[in-house]
Amino acid sequence: MSGYFPVISVDGWLANAAQCPSPNANQRPLGQEINLLVIHNISLPPGEFGTGFVADLFCNQLDPSLHPYFATIADLQVSAHLFIDRLGNVTQFVAFTERAWHAGASVFNNIENCNDYSIGIEMEGCDNIAYTNEQYIALAEVIRQILVAYPKITPERIVGHSDIAPKRKTDPGSAFDWARLHSLLTGE
């Protein structure tokens, strides 16, 4: 991934990322500043990678007949701003300026509805399977650009889904190496 330096446009789209607009988004509350970044994980079917089904889910095109698990989630209307696959490829589903539907019932620093003020990044993975080097490199490069474009997001405001919905969610899980991400972001 060397040489991959994303840039964020004024309308919230990341250059050098594939674009696959999701219908599962809407406007943020008027005047709402973006000040939180939430890291998630997802794989469809669970534990399987490289299937393309995440894009189908985020675009409301998941065929419930293709896997028993899909029948339980096919009617969900969810999205994230970005998805980073196991090879480090980045796909953007929702402009950063819009509200993606990634956090669900959530709270950070006693402020509810994290979707209103956050950016959601889905890593292709599972709680207990190590993420790839390519994913960490891509994630760090994307986050560096997000921090420039949205300075209210500070390193302390980069959290996991489990941090904002601890009774419901466990992602990005024990396999996510927060120290490694910090090192990539700071060079320490």
* Catalytic pick among 33, 122, 141, 188: 122
122 is catalytic: yes
Give yes or no for a contact between 45 and 53, defined as CB atoms under 8 angstroms apart: yes
What are the start-end ranges of the H helices in 14-75? 53-58, 70-73
Structure tokens at 28: 């943020």
Dihedral, CA of residue 151, residue 155, residue 157 and residue 160, to nearest 10? 130
Does a cis peptide bond (omega within 30 degrees of 0) precede residue 68?
no
Residue 63's SS3 state is coil
Rounded CA gap, 28 and 35, in Å?
12
What amino acid occupies position 50? G
Structure tokens at 168: 């419901």
How far lies 80's CA from each of 15, 62, 67, 162, in Å?
17, 16, 22, 16
Name every residue whose Cβ is closer than 8 Å to that of residue 89 and which is 6 or more positions away in sequence: 18, 138
| Residues designated catalytic | 122
